[in-house]
Amino acid sequence: MEKKLVVSSSPHFKSPEDIQGIMIDVLIALIPAALMAVFLFGYRALITMVVAMVAAMATEAIILRKSDFFGDGSAAVTGLLLAMTLPPAPPWWVVAIGSVVAIAIGKQIYGGLGSNIFNPALVGRAILVVSWGSYLAGDVWLKPVPFGFTADLVTKASPLVADKTSLLDLFIGTVPGCLGETSALALLIGAAWLFYKGHIDWRIPGGFIGIVFIFGLCSGGLYDGVFHILAGGAMLGALFMATDMVTSPVTPVGKLIFGIGCGLITMLIRLFGSLPEGVTFGILLMNGLTPLIDNFTLPQKFGEVKKSNA
């Protein structure tokens, strides 16, 4: 033994999983939705996603003065998630500004990964909605054209403000909408990967979607219940946004409360607010409550209260 023995405090084994691995898993989970977006909206969708991701990674690299462009992968995830919340073809500079805001103001200003209070992608989107709302709503929705990679697209109203839409179309995704929001099927396939890898559990999506369904059911029957789950950003929000690790609670009970809160605010905005969609602000508001929720839902320690059952 030429070299000296290494001494460190136990445990001497560590799981191979790291942050970059988790971020890559999230990117993998978004592949079905991304493919669906390109399938429905063609090259424009691809450009929007690439611009969002490159702008996000570049912003982070500049702020952190690092040469490793991909880094821990979290900026790429933020960029892609932001793109998923945008219509197929807003001007490229709107997309880029969204990513810059998401990373700079949504994340790095707080101290970087792990320190941010609000979901960065949704911060980016919120700023875009407020500042360039005309590019994000109204007449920019495009009618999907399957396999029409370079087809000309025509505008069409979003299902949330349109007449009755077929639930099957909503599930498959052949409806106008944001890139990642149209296909519940693609999102579920991706989320299954995250469940399998143990990165998300049922509580947040379950609470979120459960409340959305109950509200929809009460407001207009079974169709409305299912419609509110499938239309708009509810699925993307419940499976990919609200489950963002950094900005959601860590306690089991807290996760459920958080999910229910997100769904509640979403539906209040959809049904009674002036905006057609409430997922973004529902999640952002609950993000702000996360530390409070964690502190009010500290788990019962092993052996506490429950004593001998002999």
Interface contacts to other proteins, rule CB under 8 A = 1, 3-15, 17-19, 21-22, 72, 112-115, 198-199, 245-252, 255, 294, 298-304, 306-310
Q: Return the number of the residue (6 or 168) whose C-beta is nearest other proteins.
A: 6
* Cβ 289 to other proteins shortest distance, Å: 14
* Cβ 240 to other proteins shortest distance, Å: 15
* Cβ 253 to other proteins shortest distance, Å: 11
* Cβ 239 to other proteins shortest distance, Å: 16
Q: Return the number of the residue (95 or 121) whose C-beta is nearest other proteins.
A: 121
Q: Return the number of the residue (150 or 308) whose C-beta is nearest other proteins.
A: 308
Q: Return the number of the residue (165 or 248) whose C-beta is nearest other proteins.
A: 248
Determine the residue type at 184.
Answer: A
Q: Return the number of the residue (232 or 254) whose C-beta is nearest other proteins.
A: 254
Q: How far apart, in whole angstroms, are the C-alpha atoms of residue 242 and residue 279?
A: 9
Structure tokens at 307: 């004593």
Q: Return the number of the residue (93 or 296) whose C-beta is nearest other proteins.
A: 296
Write out the chain in H/E/C secondary structure.
Answer: CCCCCCCCCCCCCCCCCCHHHHHHHHHHHHHHHHHHHHHHHCHHHHHHHHHHHHHHHHHHHHHHCCCCCCCCCHHHHHHHHHHHCCCCCCCHHHHHHHHHHHHHCCCHHHCCCCCCCCCHHHHHHHHHHHHCHHHHCHHHCECCCCCCCCCCCCECCCCCCCCCCCHHHHHHCCCCCCCCCCCHHHHHHHHHHHHHCCCCCCHHHHHHHHHHHHHHHHHHCHHHHHHHHHCCCHHHHHHHHCCCCCCCCCCHHHHHHHHHHHHHHHHHHHHHCCCCCCHHHHHHHHHHHHHHHHHHCCCCCCCCCCCCCC
* Cβ 14 to other proteins shortest distance, Å: 6
Structure tokens at 264: 């509640």
Q: How far apart, in whole angstroms, are the C-alpha atoms of residue 85 and residue 106?
A: 15
* Cβ 209 to other proteins shortest distance, Å: 20
Q: Return the number of the residue (130 or 305) whose C-beta is nearest other proteins.
A: 305
* Cβ 35 to other proteins shortest distance, Å: 27
